[in-house]
């Protein structure tokens, strides 16, 4: 039997149904389904997505040949139901040809309306309907759409408007009218003539008159539109595979442009912006197709309440609103009632918020589309929880309805919508860290801190950021960089801080000397106001008011629901009491990674630290470390306090020492003075610390093994803090973590130092505290020998940043030169530093967990890299059987939801 390529629908019957989206596309499948449940839909048929693949394999002619018989039969079916004939002069049937992929790609591909008209048929349509204006308006629209989409009519210069629009402007000017609907029937006839002349002129061909020729041209144009630039770009952004292809739906036309008893509109069963359970939408009387969204005329609201709200925002009087801008509810009450009943029926049927398109032809309502509506993160949470409360979905479905990453939008400040509408986009960069920020431009971290101390709000603008900018980043409202991608320093740090960031805005010419930014012909100075949207990457001139995102009761309810199903625990990466508190508020049940290096940077500590590093011998180092100890102990107290009763994994000092020493002359002179040695000595020592590959150099436990005094001091500070808190009745649960272990004995040495320092301290204080000693698994060798390491280590924490770096052999700081090309060529599907590479790095995680537990069955295993907050990676961690994931505070809710979804998927 021949393969079936065409599926018909109409008059309450359909060959397809809702769950056939892969074959019929979302639009085709739902048109079929609406037929089956008794919603009025004009009859038609859908050509499958498989034919799209054939089209690209076999070419146009072959595909038309394969389709001809089925299509002609399906057209005859429509003719029977509509009681008219395609191409007939006296009783013409007109068709629409529509695109539709599995996933909705609104506006990305092409549609052609009013197909089947020519100079003779249009006269027949006039006679049939007695409405010359309607017939010629339809013909004019058809020639324009077909010309644009199928015949490829384009402006000659990119500065020019669409050639047909140019002709309309020309005619309106000649007639001295302002609006399209003021053109007479004769004007419309004139337009069609000029349109066709323009087609002949540009393409050298006559406009096709044969109905079937028109139909095949349109069908092929829809297949072609799958590969147009904007569709390709959209797929890339949304991760939609090119292999899916588009279906083509051919359908009888219904007309919203037949006069004042006709209309067309778009509506939503709930609010897609804030999730409110309120039917809403827009419509236009005597209009067709995309008129509502095209912005030619101001559309009116569907409901009266929507109309009143709109009038208030737009400053329109009640009298004018109820007249010129009356809602559909008021203008066509009978139609409205039917529309409202059907939208309710559709939402109940699909059990989700619906986005629908409809047309009213001479007092009769027709549905043209329904789909699950796109929505903001906020609406996503509210709608899921409301549907659950309303008994329309169960708990597991509610949890699965929320995309974890979308929760991000709920947690950051947002721009005030009214203010945003008036703002001017200066430039676009990468949406590196979501949120909205507004403030004064400042170029240097130290200025940022000074300004912030004075109570000014600043945006730190840098060509790129480095660790030295941390303090400035911490006080800034947002961060904007000209260079660097989604894993650049600025991006990673900003996300960790939950701070808005736009990175890689290449069009910015930043002049640090003049303290100016030149961008697209504009010059901005230090102190000027700038606003950035880290969710979209947009940068605006001037100040835009922001409002704190409202974390609603629904959000809390969702999180509680997640906990009910979750097995994996979620901890946080936090280095300060402030971050620890935020994470607690978001529901983190411990700290999975507390880095200690930043504790050495501030104020007096950096001096003591430098003294330690620059010291000649162990004695000198101990002296300097003794100065740091009390500070560090205080830092730990703050963090343990915030995590009262929850475990805190503290990582011993990790980065290479050269990051701590002064590289500038002034700093070196200062240091020489403090230490009472010559600058030359300092300079030599700094020089001797520099390394070819610091990432692979003297860092991690290699530091602790060469300078055990550091490990000793840190152990005293950690356990000393815990002992002091014990007196105050606060429970600290320290887990001391040795970084960068590769060899069992590397770990054992450190463990020895830690345990003896602990015993010494406990003896001194006459009290003790429980703690554990474990290691990071971030070197492939550690994963390979995990059973050996687990014989000593009490826990594993997978440091997947370094583990990815070392497994791939990619330096994270140097990938910008090849990663974009790899992604472009599909050598890599995703950035492995953002999404855990399950096939490679993930296997090391799985193996190390299994090997470790073969020796120590209760070995606690967690992950603390950037991946700990990325949903697909979290789900992988669940499947591998880790005990917890740890991520930056603002990603805690995301990880909690992903963990619940992973448990449900089991």
Q: Under rule CB under 5 A, which residues in 327-386 are in contact with Mg ion?
A: 369
Instruction: From 88-96, 518-526, 793-801, 816-824, give the range in contact with Mg ion by CB under 5 A.
Output: 793-801
- Please report whether residue 506 would count as binding ligand ADP according to CB under 6 A: no
- Residue ranges in 767-786 that form contacts with Mg ion under rule CB under 5 A: 778
Tell which one of 15, 50, 277, 290 touches ligand ADP (CB under 6 A): 290
Catalytic: which of 220, 701, 864, 887?
Answer: 864
Q: Could you say whether residue 897 binds ligand ADP (CB under 6 A)?
A: no
Binds 662: which of Mg ion, ligand ADP, none (CB < 5-8 Å by kind): none
How near is the Cβ of 253 to ligand ADP at its closest, in Å? Answer: 4
Binders of ligand ADP in range 814-843 (CB under 6 A): none
Minimal distance, residue 135 CB to ligand ADP, in Å:
15
Angle at 667 between CA 664 and CA 673, to 5 degrees: 140
Tally of CB atoms within 10 A around 409:
18
Exactly one of 10, 42, 478, 868 binds ligand ADP (CB under 6 A); which one? Answer: 42
- State residue 271 phi and psi, 5-degree precision: -75, 120
CA angle in degrees (0–180, nearest 5) for 501-506-508:
85
Order of strands, edge to edge, in the sheet holding 300-301? 300-301, 280-285, 263-268, 354-361, 364-372
Residues in the interface with ligand ADP (CB under 6 A) total 17
Closest contact distance (angstroms) between CB of 249 and ligand ADP is 7
Which of 38/106 has CB closer to ligand ADP? 106
Query: Smallest distance, Å, CB 641 to Mg ion?
Result: 26
Q: Is residue 286 within the footprint of ligand ADP (CB under 6 A)?
A: no
| Cβ-based nearer residue to ligand ADP, 99 or 633 | 99
Residues 569, 883 contacting (CB under 8 angstroms): yes
Which of ligand ADP, Mg ion, none is residue 714 near (CB under 5 to 8 Å by kind)?
none
The token pair that represents 767 in the structure block = 């009290």
| Contact with Mg ion (CB under 5 A) among 802, 837, 866, 870 | 802
8 Å CB contact between 146 and 203? no
d(CA 539, CA 430): 10
User: In 351-481, which residue ranges form alpha helices assigned H by DSSP?
Assistant: 377-389, 395-400, 408-411, 417-421, 445-453, 470-475
**Is residue 724 a contact residue for Mg ion (CB under 5 A)?**
no
The single residue listed with the structure tokens 């991608």 is 485
Rounded to the nearest whole angstrom, what is the least distance from the CB of residue 480 to ligand ADP in the complex? 34
Q: Which of 16, 25, 799, 868 binds Mg ion (CB under 5 A)?
A: 799
Residues 6+ apart with CB under 8 A from 432: 486, 488, 490, 491, 494, 495, 501, 502, 503, 504, 534, 537
CB 301 within 8 A of CB 280: yes
Min dist. Cβ of residue 33 to ligand ADP (A)? 16
Task: Compute the distance between CA of residue 574 and CA of residue 596 in angstroms, rounded to an integer.
Answer: 10
Tell me, what DSSP letter sits at residue 467? G
Which residue is it, tokens 């475990």? 647
Distance of alpha carbon 780 from alpha carbon 806, whole angstroms: 7
**Smallest distance, ligand ADP to C-beta of residue 288, A:** 6
Distance of alpha carbon 499 from alpha carbon 473, whole angstroms: 9
Token pair, residue 208, equals 């096709």
- Footprint on residues 361-390 left by ligand ADP (CB under 6 A): 368-369
Report the DSSP beta bridge partners of residue 699: none
CB of 292: closest distance to ligand ADP in angstroms? 8
The answer to whether the beta carbons of residues 683 and 707 sit under 8 Å apart is no
Q: Which own/partner contact pairs does 622-628 have at CB distance under 8 Å and 24+ positions apart?
A: 622/709, 625/709, 625/710, 625/713, 626/713, 628/600, 628/713
Which lies closer to Mg ion via its Cβ, residue 77 or residue 264? 264
Residue 83 and residue 209 in contact, taking contact as beta carbons nearer than 8 Å: no
Using the contact rule CB under 6 A, the part of the chain among 105-113, 186-194, 440-448, 535-543 near ligand ADP is 105-113
Q: Shortest Cβ distance from residue 415 to ligand ADP (Å)? A: 28
Site map (CB under 6 A) of ligand ADP, residues 246-265, x = contact: -----x-xx---------x-
Closest CA to 776 of 725, 704, 701: 701
**Quick one: what does residue 495 bind among ligand ADP, Mg ion, none, with the CB cut-off 5 to 8 Å set by partner type?**
none
Q: According to CB under 6 A, which one of 25, 289, 700, 739 is a site residue for ligand ADP?
A: 289
- From the list Mg ion, ligand ADP, none, which binds 290 (C-beta under 5 to 8 Å, kind-based)? ligand ADP
Tokens of 661: 């020493």
The one segment of 106-114, 159-167, 729-737, 776-784 that binds ligand ADP by CB under 6 A: 106-114
Active-site pick, 220, 267, 412, 489: 489
Asked if 284 interacts with ligand ADP (CB under 6 A), we say no
Q: Judged by CB, which is closer to Mg ion: 469, or 802?
A: 802
Nearer to Mg ion, 163 or 289 (CB): 289
Structure tokens at 839: 């096939």
Rounded to an integer, what distance in angstroms lies between the CA atom of residue 284 and that of residue 264? 6
| 49 is an interface residue for ligand ADP by CB under 6 A | no
Answer yes or no: 701 catalytic: no
d(CA 188, CA 769): 89
Q: Segment contacting ligand ADP (CB under 6 A): 104-112, 236-244, 619-627, 726-734?
A: 104-112
Q: Does 873 bind ligand ADP (CB under 6 A)?
A: no
Using CB under 5 A as the binding rule, whether residue 110 contacts Mg ion is answered as no
- Which is closer to ligand ADP, CB of 45 or CB of 646? 45
Q: Which position among 359, 573, 596, 668 is part of the footprint of ligand ADP (CB under 6 A)?
A: 359
Shortest Å, Cβ 130 to Mg ion: 30
CA distance 808 to 805: 6
Q: Per rule CB under 6 A, is residue 41 in the interface with ligand ADP?
A: no
Place of tokens 């990582």: 651
Question: Which of Mg ion, ligand ADP, none sits in contact with 799, Cβ below 5 to 8 A by type?
Answer: Mg ion
Find the binder of ligand ADP among 12, 59, 106, 630 (CB under 6 A).
Answer: 106
Please report whether residue 43 would count as binding Mg ion according to CB under 5 A. Answer: no
- Contact with ligand ADP (CB under 6 A): which of 98, 571, 621, 875? 98
Chain length of the chain? 906
* Residue 144 interacting with ligand ADP (CB under 6 A): no
**Spatial distance between the Cα atoms of 91 and 89, rounded to a whole number of angstroms:** 6
Closest-CA residue to 872 (of 506, 515, 404, 420): 404
Instruction: State the binding partner of 289 from ligand ADP, Mg ion, none, CB within 5 to 8 A by kind.
Output: ligand ADP
Instruction: Choose among 264, 875, 305: nearest CA to 565.
Output: 875
User: Is residue 267 among the annotated active site residues?
Assistant: no
Which tokens in the block code for residue 646? 């929850």
225 contacts ligand ADP (rule: CB under 6 A): no
Q: Residue 251 binds which one of ligand ADP, Mg ion, none, with CB within 5 to 8 A depending on kind?
A: ligand ADP
- Dump the DSSP string for 666-691: HHHHHHHHHHTS-HHHHHHHHHHH--
576: three-class secondary structure by DSSP:
coil
Q: Which two tokens stand for residue 526?
A: 């230090």
Radius of gyration of the chain (CA): 33
Is 217 an interacting residue with respect to Mg ion (CB under 5 A)? no
Least distance (Å) from ligand ADP to the CB of residue 854?
55
Q: Is 143:260 a contact under the CB 8 Å cutoff? A: no
Q: Give the shortest CB-281-to-Mg ion separation in angstroms.
A: 13
Alpha helices in 690-809 (DSSP H): 701-706, 708-728, 744-765, 780-784, 786-790, 800-808
* Nearest CB to ligand ADP, comparing residues 354 and 546: 354
CA distance 462 to 449: 15
Footprint of Mg ion (CB under 5 A)? 369, 778, 799, 802
Footprint of ligand ADP (CB under 6 A)? 42, 96, 98, 106-107, 111, 113, 251, 253-254, 264, 289-290, 357, 359, 368-369
Positions marked active-site: 489, 864
């Amino acid at each position: 039997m021949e393969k079936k390529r065409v599926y018909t629908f109409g008059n309450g019957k359909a060959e397809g149904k809702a769950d056939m989206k892969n074959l019929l596309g979302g639009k085709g499948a739902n048109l079929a389904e609406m037929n089956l449940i008794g919603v009025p839909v004009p009859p038609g048929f859908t050509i499958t997505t498989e034919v799209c693949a054939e089209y690209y394999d076999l070419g146009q002619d072959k595909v038309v040949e394969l389709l001809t018989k089925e299509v002609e039969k399906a057209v005859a079916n429509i003719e029977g139901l509509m009681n008219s004939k395609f191409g007939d002069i006296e009783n013409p049937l007109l068709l629409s040809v529509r695109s539709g992929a599995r996933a909705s790609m609104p506006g990305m591909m092409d549609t052609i309306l009013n197909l089947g008209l020519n100079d003779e048929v249009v006269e027949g349509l006039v006679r049939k309907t007695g409405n010359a204006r309607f017939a010629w308006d339809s013909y004019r629209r058809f020639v324009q759409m077909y010309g644009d989409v199928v015949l490829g009519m384009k402006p000659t210069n990119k500065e020019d408007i669409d050639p047909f629009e140019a002709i309309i402007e020309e005619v309106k000017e000649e007639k001295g009218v302002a609006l399209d609907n003021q053109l007479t029937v004769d004007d419309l006839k004139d337009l069609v003539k000029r349109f066709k002349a323009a087609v002949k002129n540009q393409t050298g061909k006559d406009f096709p008159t044969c109905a079937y020729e028109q139909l095949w041209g349109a069908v092929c144009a829809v297949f072609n539109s799958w590969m147009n630039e904007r569709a390709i770009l959209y797929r890339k952004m949304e991760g939609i595979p090119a292999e899916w292809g588009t279906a083509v739906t051919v359908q009888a036309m219904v007309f919203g442009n037949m006069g004042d008893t006709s209309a067309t509109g778009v509506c939503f069963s709930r609010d897609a912006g804030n999730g409110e359970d309120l039917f809403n939408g827009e419509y236009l009387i005597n209009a067709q197709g995309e008129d509502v969204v095209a912005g030619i005329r101001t559309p009116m609201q569907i409901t009266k309440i929507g109309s009143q709200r709109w009038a208030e925002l737009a400053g329109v009087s009640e009298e004018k609103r109820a007249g010129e801008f009356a809602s559909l509810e008021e203008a066509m009450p009978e139609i409205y009632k039917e529309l409202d009943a059907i939208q309710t029926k559709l939402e109940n049927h699909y059990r989700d918020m619906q986005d629908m398109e409809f047309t009213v032809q001479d007092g009769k309502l027709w549905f043209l589309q329904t789909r699950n509506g796109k929505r903001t993160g906020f609406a996503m949470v509210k709608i899921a929880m409301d549907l659950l409360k309303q008994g329309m979905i169960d708990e597991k479905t509610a949890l699965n309805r929320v995309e974890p990453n979308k929760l991000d939008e709920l947690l950051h400040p947002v721009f005030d919508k009214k203010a945003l509408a008036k703002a001017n986009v200066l430039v676009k960069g990468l949406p590196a860290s979501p949120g909205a920020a507004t403030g004064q431009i400042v170029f240097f971290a130290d200025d940022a801190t000074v300004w912030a101390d004075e109570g000014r709000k600043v945006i730190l603008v840098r060509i790129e950021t480095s660790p030295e900018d941390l303090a400035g980043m911490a006080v800034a409202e947002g961060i904007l960089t000209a260079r660097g991608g989604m894993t650049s320093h600025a991006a990673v740090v900003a996300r960790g801080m939950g701070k808005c960031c736009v990175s890689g805005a290449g069009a910015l010419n930043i002049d640090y000397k003049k303290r100016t930014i030149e961008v697209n012909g504009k010059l901005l100075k230090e102190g000027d106001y700038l606003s950035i949207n880290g969710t979209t990457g947009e940068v605006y001139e001037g100040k835009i008011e922001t409002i704190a995102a409202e974390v609603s009761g629904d959000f809390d309810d969702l999180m509680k629901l997640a906990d009910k199903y979750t097995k994996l625990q979620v901890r946080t990466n936090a280095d300060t009491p402030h971050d620890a508190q935020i994470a607690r508020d978001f529901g983190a049940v411990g700290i999975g990674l507390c880095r200690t290096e930043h504790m050495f940077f501030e104020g007096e500590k950096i001096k003591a630290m430098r003294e330690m590093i620059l010291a000649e011998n162990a004695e000198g180092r101990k002296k300097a470390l003794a100065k740091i100890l009390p500070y560090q102990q205080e830092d730990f107290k703050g963090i343990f306090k915030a995590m009262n009763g929850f475990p805190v994994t503290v990582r011993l000092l990790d980065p290479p020492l050269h990051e701590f020493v002064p590289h500038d002359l002034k700093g070196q002179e200062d240091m020489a003075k403090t230490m009472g040695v010559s600058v030359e000595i300092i300079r030599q020592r700094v020089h001797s610390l520099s390394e070819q590959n610091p990432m692979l150099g003297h860092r991690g436990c290699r530091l602790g093994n060469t300078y055990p005094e550091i490990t000793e001091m840190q152990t005293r500070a950690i356990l000393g803090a815990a002992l002091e808190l014990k007196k105050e009745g606060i429970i600290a649960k320290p887990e001391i973590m040795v970084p960068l272990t590769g060899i069992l004995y590397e770990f054992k040495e450190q463990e020895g130092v830690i345990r003896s320092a602990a015993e010494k301290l406990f003896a001194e204080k006459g009290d003790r505290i429980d703690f554990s000693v474990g290691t990071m698994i971030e070197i492939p060798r550690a994963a390979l020998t995990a059973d050996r390491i687990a014989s000593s280590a009490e826990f594993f924490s997978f440091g997947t940043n370094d583990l990815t770096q070392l497994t791939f052999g990619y330096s994270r700081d140097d990938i910008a030169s090849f990663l974009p090309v790899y992604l472009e060529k599909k050598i890599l599907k995703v950035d492995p530093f953002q999404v855990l590479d399950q096939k490679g790095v993930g296997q090391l995680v799985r193996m190390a967990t299994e090997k470790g537990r073969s020796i120590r069955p209760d070995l606690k295993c967690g992950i603390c890299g950037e991946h700990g907050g990325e949903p697909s990676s979290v789900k992988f961690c669940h499947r591998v059987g880790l005990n917890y994931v740890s991520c930056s505070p603002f990603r805690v809710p995301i990880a909690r939801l992903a963990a619940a979804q992973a448990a449900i998927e089991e």
